Amino acid sequence: MLAPPYRILLCDLRSDQLLDALPVQGVTLDDYIGKTGSFRGTVPIANRALADRARRALVPGRTGVWVERGRDIWWGGILWTLSLASDQRGFLGAQIQAGGWESYLYRRLLYDTQVAEQVDQLDIARGLVDYVQNTDGGDIGITYDTHTSGVLRDRTYLRYDLPAVGDLLDDLAAVEGGFEWRIASYRDTDGRRVKRLRLGYPKLLTGAADIVLDHPGPVLSYTWPTDATQKANAWQSRGATINQNQAEDSYPLMSELLVDADDVTAGWPRLDGTSDYTTVELQPTLDAHARADSTTARNPVVIPEVEVLLGGQITPALIGATIRLRISDLWHSDADRLDARYRVVGMSLTPPERGRPETARLYLEVP
C-alpha cells in the first residue's frame, strides 16, 4: 500500500487564512518535547501557474505551514527559509524549511519588565505567551489550557536584559520542580486548525494504553547510547553580577556547592559541572536551578532511538505517550531480555525511498 501523500497548507501567520495548498516532496519533519521541531521539503515547480502560486504563498517569516498526511495534520510551524533550486535537467523546486510554532517565541524579546510574586509557574508561562500575543502584530493564534501546577514562583524579568521569551520559558521550566512545554498542532472536533500550548507538570503525558513494540518485530532498528561526558557529581551555578558599585570588584551570585558524596563513595571519580543564569539575581532561585541541574547531571539523560514503520498507531500524536518496548537479541539474552516502559519525547519521520518504506524514529525517555 502506498503511503498517503504529504501536502502543505500555507496560511497567513497572523490570521491563519488559507493562502494555498501545495504538493511537497522529500518531506522530513521532527517534533519534540523540550526542543523546537523542524520541517523540510521541496515544492516541485512544474509549470508557470504553480510558480505563480508558490511565489505568492511562500513568504518566509509571515507564512504558517501546516503539514497534512492524508487528511490528518501531522505538524505545524513557520516558514523561515526558501531556496529556489534548479538541477542540470532543468527541474525547478522550491526548497523550504520551517520551525515549529515554538520558534516564534525565540524571535520575540521582552521589552517591558514583568514581575510575578507567588504566582503558579504555569500561569507565569501563559503570561509570557500573553505578553507576546498582546503586542501589535504579535498574535499568531496560540491557545492554551488553564490548569495549574500548585508550584508558586517569584520572578522578575527586566526589560534591560532583552531576553527572548522562549529562553525565559525554558529557564522557568528547567528549575527544580519545573514543567514541560510544547505547542501541538491538530484539528479540533469542528475541523479547525489549532496551535495549542501544552504545559505538563511535572511531565507532558498523553494516551492511556501502552503501545507494545518488539524487536525483532515492528522495531526495525534501535540505538541505545551510554554517555558519561556530561556526568557530574559536583555542581555549582553562577547567577547575575549583583555588585552595582563600580568602584569595587564585581562578582556573580553563586549557588551553594553541591557534591554527591554517595556517588564518590560508590567509586565514581570526582566530576565537576557548572551552569550560568546571568539574569538570576535571587539566591533561592539560583539554588533551585543548581539543584535541578545537579540532579540531571548526576545521571545524564539517555535518549534511546527506535526505528519503526510509520502508520497505524505510530503518528506524531504519540509524543508524550508511553510505549512498552521488548528487545531480544545477542545483547539482551533470554535472561536479560529488555521489557520496559518508556515515554516518547520526540519523533522524526523519513519519507519512503526506492526499496525503503516510510519510517519513524522515536526518541525515548528512560524512566
CA 136-140-142 angle, 5° bins:
120
CB atoms within 10 A of CB 361: 19
What's the CATH number where 192 sits?
3.55.50
Hey, what's the cell of 289? 536551578
Full domain range(s) for residue 290 = 234-298
Asked which of 180-184, 199-203, 246-250, 333-337 is least confident by mean pLDDT, the reply is 246-250
Q: pTM for the whole thing? A: 0.91
Is the domain of 162 the same as that of 186? yes
Cα distance between residue 167 and residue 157, in whole Å: 12
pLDDT tens, position by position, 105-156:
999 999 999 999 999 999 999 999 999 999 999 999 999 999 999 999 999 9
Is the domain of 183 the same as that of 263? no
CB-based contacts of 278: which residues, under 8 Å, 6+ apart?
161, 238, 239, 240, 241, 252
Is the domain of 217 the same as that of 337? yes
> Is residue 58 helix, strand or coil?
coil
Is the domain of 285 the same as that of 177? no
Asked which of 56-65, 210-219, 225-234, 243-252 is least confident by mean pLDDT, the reply is 243-252
CB-based contacts of 65: which residues, under 8 Å, 6+ apart?
8, 9, 10, 11, 39, 75, 76, 77, 78, 79, 96, 98
Q: Is residue 11 part of a domain?
A: yes
Q: Is residue 206 part of a domain?
A: no
Buried b / exposed e across 88-103, counting CB within 10 Å, b at 16+? Answer: eeeebbbebbbbbbbb
Cα distance between residue 65 and residue 104, in whole Å: 13
Cα distance between residue 257 and residue 305, in whole Å: 34
> Which residue among 57, 83, 100 closes a domain?
100
Whole-number pLDDT of residue 247: 63
Whole-number pLDDT of residue 1: 46
Is the domain of 216 the same as that of 193? no
Is the domain of 250 the same as that of 292? yes
Is the domain of 189 the same as that of 68? no
Specify the number of domains making up the chain. Answer: 4
Judge contact between 102 and 170, C-beta under 8 A. no
Cα distance between residue 338 and residue 360, in whole Å: 21
In the predicted model, is pLDDT for residue 96 greater than 60? yes
Cα distance between residue 44 and residue 331, in whole Å: 45
**Residue 366's pLDDT band (boundaries 50, 70, 90)?**
confident
What's the CATH number where 354 sits?
2.40.450
Q: What is the mean pLDDT of the chain?
A: 93
In the predicted model, is pLDDT for residue 263 greater than 50? yes
Task: Indicate the length of the chain as a whole number.
Answer: 367
> Which residue among 298, 321, 344 closes a domain?
298
Q: How far does CA 292 lie from the centroid of its chain?
A: 19
Hey, what's the cell of 122? 504555569
> Which residue among 100, 125, 150 closes a domain?
100
Q: Is residue 1 part of a domain?
A: no
pLDDT above 70: percentage of residues in the chain: 97
Is the domain of 336 the same as that of 219? yes
**Residue 2's pLDDT band (boundaries 50, 70, 90)?**
low
Is the domain of 185 the same as that of 122? yes
In the predicted model, is pLDDT for residue 170 greater than 60? yes
Q: Is residue 325 part of a domain?
A: yes
In the predicted model, is pLDDT for residue 295 greater than 50? yes
Q: Is residue 204 part of a domain?
A: no
Is the domain of 314 the same as that of 355? yes
CB atoms within 10 A of CB 163: 17
Is the domain of 220 the same as that of 361? yes
Is the domain of 140 the same as that of 186? yes
Q: Is residue 320 part of a domain?
A: yes
